[in-house]
């Protein structure tokens, strides 16, 4: 996992590309370099060395024929199998997945994307044809931001990097309004900044002669419709093997690998599947965060899971007094709203891992969306936030002139089944896109790589396509996953309920950090998006005990820190 950068156009030059590389050097602290054809193309790369640690695998990476230059962020997990398929036709000078990716593109063109099992964002420059080809993985695990003014095309792994090139920094009011009104973090092609776009997951782009084309390459909906009529003789065994394969592929690394652990079903299943791997388990470390609040901490469950297992546990504490400084650091780094104190607490894990020399971590992200784990899947409430009964949004605080432009986001419903459409929304429009963005930034902030085996595309597709009683049966959610987990886990861990809150965010914001919260929110009073009187009223209600949800409070803190 690394950072990629590029400029195509007459603004391409070494000075600017070096400025951009410096901004995202945290993404790749092991090596930095660039390729430049002045006033035509400049490509830059920040390397985090994970596979083939030698200098031969540094990027930008040029093909043996000299015609293609690649910058690549992510991992192609099945690179060994692809290399074996290509080795009779290509001479490999490295052991890297980078070289496999480039030769795969040379061999199969854009259809190479269908062969990749991985998380990736990359760009390839064709010197002879003066054409840029760029692509993003199926679910958008790895980021690709761009700005195009029809003369120059800028792209990078982070938004700050594009602003470092001199692009104007203006808010996209439509995205901010929808964030405050309905909790949307933007559509797959949007950001919170005007004219800064994302290449959506499962899409690729081509740029030639100042003409930009974007096309979809991953047709999830079609694949699901085909899979719905296919059943394995032993479904439980088949899915178990998919899970084991996903874990196995994600242990491919030339550096130490660890994993993140909470007390829930996903983490405990991940742990049990790691147990089944043929690896040196004594070298694999576990990480978890705590807030020293027994109402939220899962350390008891984590220790129970690790009992009689060889994995050393690293406990990463966070306290209320750390939040003001850490939240500002995170806001500057994310440059878009993020998931509150849980995200900050999560970042402590990656900081601790890096300090211990663990550069790759696995976690259980993606299980709830594929296996139907959220509470609102059982009542078709159309919620996007787990564990709330009343609306978490406070639209009364919005200025009437600002609020009148609100248009509710309508998400596609490609399936005949309501549950599948909710899951589809969460996979491609709400839960997963925002979680992946939060997690990419918090892991890369400390130069670590996060891998998410539950988002293996073969696993997601198959589980998603199964009938409802594979997911929810007799009122039990994630039913088949629990059934599989029973093979490996204690019964009390398998039956443990989903706990949506892992930090005392509500208590800290309403009590410990009350003065700080008020000071942050007051920054917004000068912004014409808000009604000061209504905001003060809502803030006082929160401080007086209306704390079922703190989502709106964190929205305001995020806005204040990003906009000031």
Its pTM stands at 0.95
Written as six digits, the tokens of 272 are 């049990």
Per the prediction, the chain carries an average pLDDT of: 94
What is the pLDDT at residue 110?
97
CA distance linking residue 442 with residue 127, whole number of Å = 35
- Least confident stretch, 81-85, 301-305, 350-354, 535-539: 301-305
How does 39-57 read in b/e, with b if 16+ C-beta sit within 10 Å? eebbbbbbbbbbbbeeeeb
What pLDDT digit, counting tens, does each position of 542-555 carry?
999 998 899 999 99
Residue 545: predicted pLDDT: 93
Contacts of 19 (CB under 8 A, 6+ apart): 164, 165
Give percent above pLDDT 70 in the chain.
96
Q: Is the pLDDT of residue 131 over 80?
A: yes
Would you mind telling me the total number of residues written for the chain in this entry?
A: 564
- pLDDT at site 385: 63
At 201 the pLDDT is 98
Per DSSP, the three-state class of 432 is helix
Residue 419, class by beta-carbon neighbours within 10 Å (0-12 exposed, 13-18 middle, 19+ buried)?
middle
100-120 average pLDDT score: 98
Quick: pLDDT tens for 139-195.
999 999 999 999 999 999 999 999 999 999 999 999 999 999 999 999 999 999 999
Residue 388 has pLDDT above 90, yes or no: no
Look at residue 305 and tell me whether its pLDDT is greater than 90: no
Give 500's pLDDT tier (boundaries 50, 70, 90).
Answer: low
b/e burial code for range 462-479 (CB count within 10 A of at least 16 → b): bbbbbeeebbbeeeebbb
Has residue 17 got a pLDDT over 60? yes
pLDDT of amino acid 475: 86
Percent of the chain with pLDDT over 90: 85
pLDDT value at position 366? 87
What local confidence, expressed as pLDDT, does residue 278 receive?
A: 85
Domains of the chain (ranges; CATH) run 3-218 (3.60.20.10), 235-388+409-494 (3.40.50.620), 505-563 (no CATH)
| 564/562 Cα distance (integer angstroms) | 6
Look at residues 290, 355, 294, 284 and name the one whose alpha carbon lies nearest to residue 316.
290
Tell me: pLDDT of 350 over 90. Answer: yes
Stronger pLDDT, 383 or 109, i.e. the higher one: 109
SS (H, E, C) 442-484: HHHCCCCEEECHHHCHHHHHHHHHCCHHHHEECCEECHHHHHH
pLDDT digit string, tens, across residues 426-470:
999 999 999 999 999 999 999 999 999 999 999 999 999 999 999
Task: Kindly indicate the confidence band of residue 564, based on its pLDDT and cuts at 50, 70 and 90.
Answer: confident
Question: Per residue in 281-297, pLDDT tens?
Answer: 888 999 999 999 988 99
The structure tokens listed for 238 are: 């088949």
Q: Residue 379's pLDDT is what?
A: 77
Q: What is the pLDDT of residue 365?
A: 87
Alpha-carbon gap, residue 251 to 253, rounded angstroms: 6
Contacts of 135 (CB under 8 A, 6+ apart): 110, 113, 120, 121, 122, 199, 203, 204, 205, 217
- How confident is the model over 385-414, as a mean pLDDT? 88
280 — pLDDT class (breaks 50, 70, 90): confident
Q: What is the pLDDT of residue 485?
A: 86
The pLDDT confidence band at residue 509, using thresholds 50, 70 and 90, is very high
Q: Provide the token pair at 426.
A: 């969460």
* CA–CA separation, 211 and 293 (whole Å): 55
Check pLDDT > 60 for residue 493: no
pLDDT tens per residue, range 182-230: 999 999 999 999 999 999 999 999 999 999 999 999 999 999 999 999 9
| For residues 372-384, average pLDDT | 77
């Amino acid at each position: 996992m690394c950072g990629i950068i590029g400029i195509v156009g007459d603004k391409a030059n070494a000075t600017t590309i070096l400025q951009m590389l410096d901004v995202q050097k945290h993404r790749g602290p092991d090596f930095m370099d660039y390729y430049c054809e002045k006033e035509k193309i400049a490509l830059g790369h920040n390397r985090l060395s994970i596979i083939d640690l030698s200098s031969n695998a540094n990027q930008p990476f040029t093909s043996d024929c000299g015609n293609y230059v690649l910058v690549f962020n992510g991992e192609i997990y099945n690179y060994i199998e692809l290399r074996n398929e290509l080795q009779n036709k290509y001479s490999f000078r490295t052991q890297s997945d980078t070289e496999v990716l480039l030769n795969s593109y040379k061999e199969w063109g854009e259809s190479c994307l269908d062969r990749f099992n991985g998380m990736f964002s990359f760009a390839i420059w064709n010197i002879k044809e003066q054409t840029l080809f760029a692509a993003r993985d199926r679910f958008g695990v790895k980021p690709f931001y761009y700005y195009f003014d029809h003369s120059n095309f800028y792209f990078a792994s982070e938004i700050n990097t594009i602003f470092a090139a001199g692009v104007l920094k203006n808010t996209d009011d439509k995205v901010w309004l929808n964030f405050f009104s309905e909790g949307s973090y933007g559509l797959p092609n949007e950001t919170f900044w005007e004219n800064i776009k994302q290449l959506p997951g499962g899409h690729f782009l081509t740029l030639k002669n100042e003409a930009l084309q974007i096309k979809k390459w991953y047709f999830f909906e079609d694949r699901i419709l085909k899979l719905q009529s296919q059943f394995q003789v032993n479904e439980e065994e088949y899915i178990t093997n998919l899970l084991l394969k996903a874990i196995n592929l994600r242990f491919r690394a030339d550096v130490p690998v660890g994993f993140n652990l909470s007390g829930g079903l996903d983490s405990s299943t991940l742990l049990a599947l790691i147990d089944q791997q043929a690896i040196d388990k004594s070298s694999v470390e576990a990480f978890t965060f705590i807030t020293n609040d027994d109402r939220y901490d899962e350390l008891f469950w984590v220790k129970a899971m690790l009992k009689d297992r060889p994995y050393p546990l690293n406990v990463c504490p966070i306290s209320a007094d750390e939040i003001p400084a850490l939240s500002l650091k995170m806001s500057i780094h994310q440059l878009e709203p993020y998931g509150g104190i849980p995200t900050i607490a999560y970042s402590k894990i990656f900081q601790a891992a890096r300090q211990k020399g663990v550069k790759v971590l696995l976690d259980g992200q993606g299980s709830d969306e594929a296996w139907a784990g959220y509470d609102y899947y059982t009542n078709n409430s159309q919620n996007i936030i787990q564990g709330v009964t009343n609306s978490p949004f406070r639209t009364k605080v919005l200025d009437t002139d600002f609020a009148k432009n609100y248009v509710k986001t309508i998400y596609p419903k490609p399936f005949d089944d309501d549950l599948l459409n909710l899951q589809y929304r969460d996979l491609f429009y709400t839960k997963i896109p925002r979680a992946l963005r939060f997690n990419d930034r918090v892991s890369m902030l400390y130069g670590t790589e996060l891998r998410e085996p539950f988002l293996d595309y073969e696993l997601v597709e198959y589980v998603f396509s199964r009938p409802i009683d594979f997911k929810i049966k007799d009122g039990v959610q994630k039913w088949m996953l629990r059934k599989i987990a029973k093979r490996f886990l204690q019964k009390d861990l398998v039956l443990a309920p989903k706990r949506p809150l892992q930090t005392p965010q509500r208590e800290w914001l309403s009590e410990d950090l009350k003065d700080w919260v008020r000071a942050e929110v007051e920054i917004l009073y000068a912004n014409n998006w808000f009604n000061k009187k209504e905001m003060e009223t809502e803030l006082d209600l929160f401080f007086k005990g209306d704390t079922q949800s703190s989502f709106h409070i964190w929205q305001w803190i995020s806005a204040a820190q990003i906009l000031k």
